Structure 1
Amino acid sequence: MKNTKISIVVSGDICVNVHQWQTKHQGPQGLNWQHFPQLHQDIKGGTALLLAKLVALSTGAAIHSPELQAEDKNLPPEILRSTLELGLFPVQPQADQPDSVYRITRFLGFTGPAAGPPALLPITGDDVQARLVILDDNNDGFNAREEYWPLALKTPGTSPVVIYKTNNPASSSPIWQQIEKTHLQNTIVVIYGDDLRAKGVNISQGLSWEKTALEFVWQINNNPTLAYLANARHLIVPLGLEGAVYYRNDGLAAESRLFFMTNEFEGSFIKESQGKMYGLSSCFVAGLAHSIAAGILIQEDLTKSIEEGIREGIVAAQKYYNLGFGASLPETAFPDPCIFIESENDFIYKEQIQDVPIRNSNNPKCRACWYIIKDKSSSGLSEIAYDIVKNGEKSALKFIPIARFGNLITVDRTEIEGYRSIKNLILEYISAKNITRPLSIAVFGTPGSGKSFGVTEVAATIAPGLIQKLNFNLSQLQSLADLIAAFHKVRDLVLEGKLPLVFFDEFDSAFNGSLGWLKYFLAPMQDGVFREGDSLHPLGKAIFVFAGGTSSTFTEFCGETLQDEAEYKQFFRHFQSAKGPDFVSRLRGYVNILGPNQTDEQGDHLFVIRRAMLLRSLLERKTPHLLNEHRQAQIDDGVLRALLKAPRYKHESRSMEAILEMSRLSTAKKWEQSHLPPKEQLKLHVDEEQFARHLMHDAFFSEKIEQLAMNLHQKSGYLREENDNPAASCRCPWADLREEHKASARSLAKHIPNALRKINYDVVSVNEKPAPIEFSAKELRILAEYDHKRWSLEKKEAGWKHGRLYNEQKKLHPLLIPWDILTAEVQTKIMENIKHWPEILADASFTIERLKSLCYCETQI
C-alpha cells in the first residue's frame, strides 16, 4: 500500500550487478553438453537503483529515483557493471538447517566504460519539495556531478531531511560542501566502520563493544582527518550487522551512543562459510529511512527517529542477508518485501538491540574502566548475579554484552578482549602457511581462577578435530631432560597431523634460580627447534600456552606493579639476567584471567557476576538435580547471598567448588542452609563468621519479587494481557489470577530496577519503610516507554505478533506496536500504574535514590 503523504527522492552512483550461477541439467542427459554444469546469468540493479527499491519497500512512499531496466541485456556500455558468482548456502549456519538460499561466492570484477567516468542517470519525476532525500555516494562520480543531484538538495530555500550514505567521505567533495553549506542541520551521514578503517582510522574490531565505541569517540575527537565529520549534526557508523555508533553534535556539544546486540560482536553474524551479499548498507539505510519518514509525518524529534531507525536498520540488514537472493533463481523476488515486515518467525526484533551512552572522555583511566555492565550500580550487579544463579545466564544477561567460547561464558570486558585477541591469533596461526615456529601465548591469574579452562574452550571453538591438548607442570619437572621429553611429546603429536595446544603450567617457577626455565624456551619459541645433546629437533606447528603460577597478571610478571623505583631497578636487573625481556618479546598475546575474588575494591565490581556464573556452572555440572523442569536453581536465598557476597574465597574457584562438594546435596531437592558444612570446614575456604552473617542478612531485591508482583497487581490491576479488553483493569484477587498474568507481573517487578536506571535512579534496601518519592511527568513518560518496549520484546519472544483484535490462540495482540502509536488512553494507563512504583517499593522496604557513578577515575583525588 502506497504512502502518498511523503515524497522521497533517492539518487546516487549507478551500477548493475551481473549474477552468474551453475546448476545441473534437469531431465534426460542424452546429449554431451547436458552432462556438464549449466551456466545461468541474470542482471539486477545495484547502488542507487537497489537503494530506491529497498526504500520503496520499507516506507511504502512515492519514490523519485533514477530508473533503468537492469534486466535488459542491451545495457549501454557506459553503465558500470559488477559481475558476481552465486552459490547455494544454508540459511542459517547450523548443520541441521535444511533450507538454502543463493548468496555470493566470489566477486569477479567490474566492467566499466572504455573511456571517461561511468554513466549516471537523471531522477525520474524529481520533486523539489521532497521531504526526504537519500544519497548513495559510492565514489564513482556522482559526488562531483551536480546535474544529477536532487533538486531539493541544490535549490535555495528547501529543507529536506538528507540521508547521505557514503563509503569515501572527503571534505573536498563537492556534494559534501553543498550539504555543509545548506543542509548540515538536517543531514544524517551514514558510513560503515570498515570504510573508516580503510581510510586509516584506527578503530578496533570485534574485541569488545566498549573498546570499539571508545576508540571511535577518541578518533572523532582527536583525528584531524575526521574533523569535518565531527561537525556533522548526525553521524551513524554501523559496525557490521550487529551494532552502530550514533554521534550527535548540536554545534555546542557532542555526544555518542552505542547500539549493540548483546550476544553478538562486530562481524560475528556473517560466517566465512555462509557467503556474502552486496547491498547490506543500502538495506540498513532503508530501515533507517522508514523511521525517518514516519517521524517526519508526526513531526517527531529527528534524534528519536534516528535512534529507532538504527534498530530498524540493523534488523533489516540481518534479515536481508539471511534471505539472500532466494532459494530459486531468477523466480524469487529480490529484494524480498518481507525484509521490512515483522513476523512471528523472525530471528531478531528491534527491541533486542540495546543502547548505551558512550563516555566522551580523553582520560585514559576513565576510558579503561568503562564497562557497559558497570553502568549499573553495585546493587544492580548483585541482582543480575542472583538472577544468573537462579535462572541461568540466558535469562539474566539479555541486556548485557556477553561472549561465549564453547562452555566458557564471560561478561567481563577485559576477559572478553583478551580471549577474542587469543582467538584471532590462533585463527591467523592456523590459516598461515609455511610457519614452523610455535605460537606463544601467556595466561595469568591466581591459582584456581581457571587459566587452562578458558584458553582450552577458546581453542575448541576454532578447530576441535585438529587441536589436541598437552599439559606439563614445570614446577614438577626435575631436570632439563624432563623438558626435552615434553618437547618430544609435542613433536610426536605434530607428526600425527595434530596441532598441539601445550600448557606449560607455572612456567615462572624456580629452576636453578628464579625464572630459571625461561631461557630454555627461547629457541623453541623463536626458531621452532629444541636441542638434545648435539642434535636439533624441529617442533613444527604448535600453540604454547604459558600459565603463570607466581604472577597473577602480565604487568606483575614484568614488574610494572612495583611503585618503588629502586625496587623496580633491582627487579629488572634480575629479570634481564633470567632472559625475561627476551621471553616476553617472543609472546604474541596474553590474557589475565579474573577469578571469583575482587581484585580491586574501587575498580572491580564485576567479581559478583563472575562468582554467579561460576556457581551456576557448578550447579549445572555437579548437582543438576537441583535444577527444576524450568532450569531454575533450587537454592536457599541465604545460601545464595553468602556464596555471592563472601568477602574472599581463600582458594578462588576451588574454594567455591569445595563448599558445594562438602555440602550434603546428593539426595537434596533444595540447597538449604542445613546442608552446608560446619563452620570448622567452611573456615578452610572463607571467613566463616562473615559467611554466616550473609546467610541471615542483606536481602536481595529479587527475593521479594513475589511480594512486589502481588502489590503491583493490587495497586493497579492494569493488564495488557486482559482477553476482552487489553486496556482494561483486572481487580480479581492474586490467588485467582491466571498464571500467565502472574508471570507478567513478576517480570515487571523484576525489571523495575533496570527501568529506574533509565532516569538515573537506583533501588536500595533499607531497614525501615521510607517515604516514597514522586516521578516527574518526563520521568513517567520515559519509564512508561521503556516498560512498553520491555513488554513488547517479552511478548514477541513468546511468539506473539500484532493483530487488530486480541486472540490468545493465534497469539495476536493489538498493543504490540511502538509507543508513539499507542492511543493516549493506553499511554496514560501505563503511566498511571508506574506512579505506584515508589509506594510499592517502600512497602517492601526499598527506597529510590539517585544513581551514583562507578567510574574509577572519578573516585580518585
Structure 2
Amino acid sequence: MPGGTRRRQVVLFGDRTKDEYILRLRRQGGYAASKDTETPSRDWQNHDQWRRFTPAQAGVDMAAEMLGWYSDTLDVIRPTISPREASLTSLAFLGQCKIDESTGRPTSFQGVQTNHEPETSRLRVREFAGYKGRPSPRKIAITVPDRNVRPDVIAISDAGNELRHSQDDKDNAFCALMDRLAKKHGDPAQIVMKMHLPLAEGLAWKKFAGAKHAARRVLVVHADDLRHHGMQIARCPSWDRIVEDTHNSLVSGHVGSELLDESDDLVVLFDVEGAMVVTGNAANPSIALICDPMRAEYEVSRLLPGYMVGKMNCFLAALVNALPAPKKSLHDAVAKALLASRLYAESYFLEDGTDLRMPSVPNLLMEHEKRAAEAKPGSDHARYITLIPSKDAANISLLATSVSAVAPSSNTPDVFRELGRRIIVEGVERVLENLPHGRFKELWTVDREEIEGLRAIDVLIKDYLARTSLTKPLSIAVFGPPGAGKSFGVKQLVSEDEVPILEFNLSQADEVQLPRFFHDIRDANLKGKTPLCFFDEFDSRDRELVKYFLAPMQDGLFREGDALRPVGRGIFVFAGGTVHRMQDFCPRIPANAEPEEKDPHGQDQTENKQAPSKEVYSKEDKRKKLPDFVSRLSGFLNIKGPDPQTEPTGATPDHEHLLRRAILIRRQIEKHLPCIISEGGKTASIEPALVDALLIEWTYRHGARSIELVLRSMASGPEKTTLGLSDLPIASQLNLHVALE
C-alpha cells in the first residue's frame, strides 16, 4: 500500500438517486380466522400485502457504502451536496430466492407469504419499474470539509444526472479540485471515473478530460453504452470476436475513440464476465482482455433469477481499493474488481427491519476463497485470466495467445502438441481451466467457430423454450464430418428431463414414413413436453426428402393423406450426412459471413475485403426446394471433429484440431479405461509413444467414432493400470479406423 500503513485518501463525487423497493406478500388463502372465533377475520387480512424499502444507500451513497468495505486501506471523504434531496427516484419489485447452499447462489424465485420470517428473506430485484421525477436543471453546490484536501484518488460516479450540471465556479469543490489537477503541482491524484449515458458529455466529462496533469485518468464504461453510441460490438459469441470488434470500432473513429484519447486507461465492462483495458490512442490501441475463460458476456445473469442493483458501483469501489501506482498495469486491479462485482451479482439483499442490507463483498470474498480451495478442476467458480492479443495477427486468436504463454520459445504447432499431450494425461478440466473455452455440460471446446455457433444455438433454444406461446417448431441445421459429435453437441444444450429427445434416421426413410415421425412429435406435445427432434442425414437420398419438411417448419403442419395435421412445438435439428459444412450445403453463405463495415460518414470500408460468394442455386437445387428449406432455418452449427480442416490457400493452419482431438481422446479414456487414471491426481498412466500416436501421427477414418472404437478395443482383456503401444489391436484391425501416417 502506498505510504506504508497510511490509508489512501479518496474523495468521492457522484450523482444521487433515491431507490424504492416493493416486496409483495401473497395471502395465505381462506379467511385469517373463522367468524365463530374470538378473533374474527379482518378484510385486509384476506388480501395480498406488501412491504416497502427505501434504503439510504442509493446512487453515489451506495458507492460510498461500498468504498466503506475497505476502511482498513481507504479513508473516504464524501462531499456535501445541496439541495439535500435527490430529484430522481427509482422503483423496483423484489422477489425471494431459493439458495443453493453448496455455492451460495440463488437458483429461482419462490412465493412469499404474509407469514414469512424476514430474517430468512434473501431478496433480488425481480422487475425494474422505472424512475419518477427528472434531474433538476438547478445548479448544485458541492463542498468538502477541507478545501485544501490533497487526495490520493478522486472517484467519480457519473450517472448522467446532477453532477453534470454542478456550478462551474471557484466555490464548487468538485470543479476546484479538478481544476487543480489540470495544473502542475506536487503529489497529483489518480482519477477513476465511472460514466453512463450519454457518453462524453457534461461538466463532469469536461473536467475529467481537462485534468491533464493527474497522475492517471481511468475511465470505466459499460459495453452496452458504447453499443448505444454506435460501436458495433457483437454480443457474447466469443471473446475473440468482442476484441476484434472493439479494436475495429476504435480505429474507425467511433465515440470510443474520443473516450480513449481523453483518458490514460479506458476500461470497458462486459457485465461481470470480462473487461477490456485499452491504452494508447485510437489510431493504435493496445488491448488487454481480463475475462472468465469459460463464461461469455451476460451468461451469469442468464443463469440467475433477477438481478442486483449496484454492480458497477461495486466494480468502482473494488477498483479504487486495488488501484496500483500510476505507472503500474491495471490488469490485476481490474481482475479483482471483476471478481468483486461478480460475487455481488451472484448474491442477494437481506431484509433488515424496514431497510435492505447489501451483501458485504469482503465477506463474499472469504467464502469464495474457501470454496475455490476445495473446488476440483473444472468446477464452476469465478476465475479471471489476462490475455493480451498480438497486434500483428490478421485475426484475433486468444487461444493462440494463451497457449503461446505455455512455451513462448516454441513455434505454434509445438505448443499445441504439448497442450494436447497434457489434456490426454492430466485431464480436460485441469488443462483448460485457464484457457478460453466453451463448456456446455459434458462438451468442452476450444474452437472459436464451435464456441460461437454453440452459444448462438443455445440462446435460440433457451428463448424458444421460454416463449411457450410459439406453436411452430424451431429449425436448426448441424453439419460436420462423420463421427464429429453432431448429435452429442446439440444434446448438451438441453436437459433431457425437460426436453425429450427423439431421433429419426432419414437415410432409411421415405416420404411415406414421415407422418409417423410427426405423430411421435405430436405425442410428446400431448404429454406437455417440447421435444428435441434429431433428423439425422436429412440430406441423404439425394435430398429428395427436404421438401416434405417445408410445411412443418413454416406452418407447423404436416400432411397425412388428404388431411393437414398440426405437428406441435419442437426443436427440429437437421444433421447433414453428405456435406460437412453449412457453406457446402448452401453456397450463398460465405464461410465467415459478417455485416459490411461503414465508417462514421457512411462510406463503405469493405473494398479490400473478399466479396461474398455470388453463386446461386442450380435448377436442380431449386426443384428440391433447398432455398426454401434454408430460408426456414433459424440458425446453423458446424462441428469440426478431430481432424484438421481443409482451409483456403494462405489461411491460418488448423492447429486447434490437436486440442479437439485431445479432448475426445481423454473423454473416451475416462469412459472406457478409467482403471488407468489415478483416483486422486486424475493423471492417466499412458506411454508417451501412444499419446503421440493417438494425438499426432494418426488420421481417423470415421472421426470421433473411430477414436472411441480404438480405445474401446484396448479396454478388452484383463484390467490395465497403464496403457501402451502393445495394447493396440493388430494392424489389420486397427486399419479399419486409423490411417497410419
TM-score, reference length from structure 1? 0.70
Contact in 2 for aligned 1:11/1:123 (Cα 8 Å): no
* Aligned residue in 1 for 2:314: 283
What CA distance in whole angstroms lies between the structure 2 residues aligned with 1:439 and 1:251? 42
Structure 1 residues 561 and 675: CA distance shift in structure 2, 3 A: farther
* Aligned residue in 1 for 2:122: 101
Q: Offset of 1:126 from its aligned partner?
A: 5.1
What CA distance in whole angstroms lies between the structure 2 residues aligned with 1:23 and 1:570? 61
* Aligned residue in 2 for 1:609: 659
Q: Which moved more, 1:550-559 or 1:592-601?
A: 592-601
Contact in 2 for aligned 1:639/1:673 (Cα 8 Å): yes
Structure 1 residues 395 and 424: CA distance shift in structure 2, 3 A: same
Q: Offset of 1:655 from its aligned partner?
A: 1.2
1:80 aligned partner, one-letter code: L
Structure 1 residues 388 and 569: CA distance shift in structure 2, 3 A: closer
Contact in 1 for aligned 2:217/2:265 (Cα 8 Å): yes
**Pairing partner for 1:678 from 711, 714, 730:** 730
Structure 1 residues 580 and 217: CA distance shift in structure 2, 3 A: same
* Aligned residue in 2 for 1:643: 694
**Pairing partner for 1:546 from 550, 555, 574:** 574
Name the % identity: 28
Contact in 2 for aligned 1:243/1:260 (Cα 8 Å): yes
1:598-618 residue CA offsets vs partner (Å, 9 max, x unmatched): 114742111111111111211
1:301 aligns with 2:327: yes
* Aligned residue in 2 for 1:467: 499
Q: Offset of 1:244 from its aligned partner?
A: 0.5
* Aligned residue in 2 for 1:191: 221
* Aligned residue in 1 for 2:387: 356
Q: Offset of 1:236 from its aligned partner?
A: 0.3
Instruction: Name the SS of the counterpart of 1:499 in structure 2.
Output: coil
Contact in 2 for aligned 1:91/1:323 (Cα 8 Å): no
Structure 1 residues 5 and 568: CA distance shift in structure 2, 3 A: closer
What CA distance in whole angstroms lies between the structure 1 residues aligned with 2:19 and 2:656? 50
Q: Offset of 1:341 from its aligned partner?
A: 6.2
Instruction: Name the SS of the counterpart of 2:300 in structure 1.
Output: coil
What CA distance in whole angstroms lies between the structure 1 residues aligned with 2:469 and 2:50? 38
What CA distance in whole angstroms lies between the structure 2 residues aligned with 1:220 and 1:110? 33
1:80 aligns with 2:88: yes
Q: Offset of 1:14 from its aligned partner?
A: 0.6
What CA distance in whole angstroms lies between the structure 1 residues aligned with 2:104 and 2:285? 47
* Aligned residue in 2 for 1:235: 266
* Aligned residue in 2 for 1:659: 710
* Aligned residue in 2 for 1:208: 238
Structure 1 residues 241 and 614: CA distance shift in structure 2, 3 A: same
1:319 aligns with 2:343: yes
Contact in 1 for aligned 2:147/2:173 (Cα 8 Å): no
1:222-254 residue CA offsets vs partner (Å, 9 max, x unmatched): 253333124133100111112101110158732
1:13-42 residue CA offsets vs partner (Å, 9 max, x unmatched): 1113234446799xx996856787573534
1:366 aligns with 2:395: yes
What CA distance in whole angstroms lies between the structure 1 residues aligned with 2:350 and 2:590? 61
What CA distance in whole angstroms lies between the structure 2 residues aligned with 1:184 and 1:456? 57
Q: Offset of 1:327 from its aligned partner?
A: 6.7
**Pairing partner for 1:669 from 717, 721, 731:** 721
* Aligned residue in 2 for 1:857: none
* Aligned residue in 1 for 2:641: 595
What CA distance in whole angstroms lies between the structure 1 residues aligned with 2:290 and 2:615? 46
* Aligned residue in 2 for 1:706: none
- Unmatched tracts of structure 2, length 5 or more: 34-38, 107-119, 374-380, 406-411, 592-610
* Aligned residue in 1 for 2:275: 244
* Aligned residue in 2 for 1:744: none
* Aligned residue in 2 for 1:379: 414
Contact in 1 for aligned 2:22/2:50 (Cα 8 Å): no
1:476-505 residue CA offsets vs partner (Å, 9 max, x unmatched): 11x311122222222222222221211111
TM-score, reference length from structure 2? 0.81
Contact in 1 for aligned 2:292/2:382 (Cα 8 Å): no
1:8 aligned partner, one-letter code: V
1:265 aligns with 2:296: yes
Structure 1 residues 679 and 327: CA distance shift in structure 2, 3 A: farther
Instruction: Tell me which protein shows more helix as a share of its residues.
Output: 1
**Pairing partner for 1:495 from 526, 529, 533:** 526
* Aligned residue in 2 for 1:162: 191
Structure 1 residues 119 and 326: CA distance shift in structure 2, 3 A: farther
Q: Offset of 1:171 from its aligned partner?
A: 3.5
Structure 1 residues 591 and 642: CA distance shift in structure 2, 3 A: same
1:134-179 residue CA offsets vs partner (Å, 9 max, x unmatched): 1111111312323463532123526432111011143343332332
**Pairing partner for 2:69 from 44, 53, 57:** 57
What CA distance in whole angstroms lies between the structure 2 residues aligned with 1:202 and 1:336? 36
Contact in 1 for aligned 2:222/2:270 (Cα 8 Å): yes
Aligned residues: 665
2:179 aligned partner, one-letter code: K
* Aligned residue in 2 for 1:89: 97
1:45-80 residue CA offsets vs partner (Å, 9 max, x unmatched): 2221121232243363222223589xxxxx966543
Q: Offset of 1:358 from its aligned partner?
A: 3.2
* Aligned residue in 2 for 1:12: 14
**Pairing partner for 2:456 from 412, 421, 426:** 421
Structure 1 residues 206 and 628: CA distance shift in structure 2, 3 A: same
* Aligned residue in 2 for 1:521: 549
1:621 aligned partner, one-letter code: K
Q: Offset of 1:117 from its aligned partner?
A: 6.2
Contact in 2 for aligned 1:91/1:322 (Cα 8 Å): no
Q: Offset of 1:86 from its aligned partner?
A: 3.4
What CA distance in whole angstroms lies between the structure 1 residues aligned with 2:292 and 2:275? 10
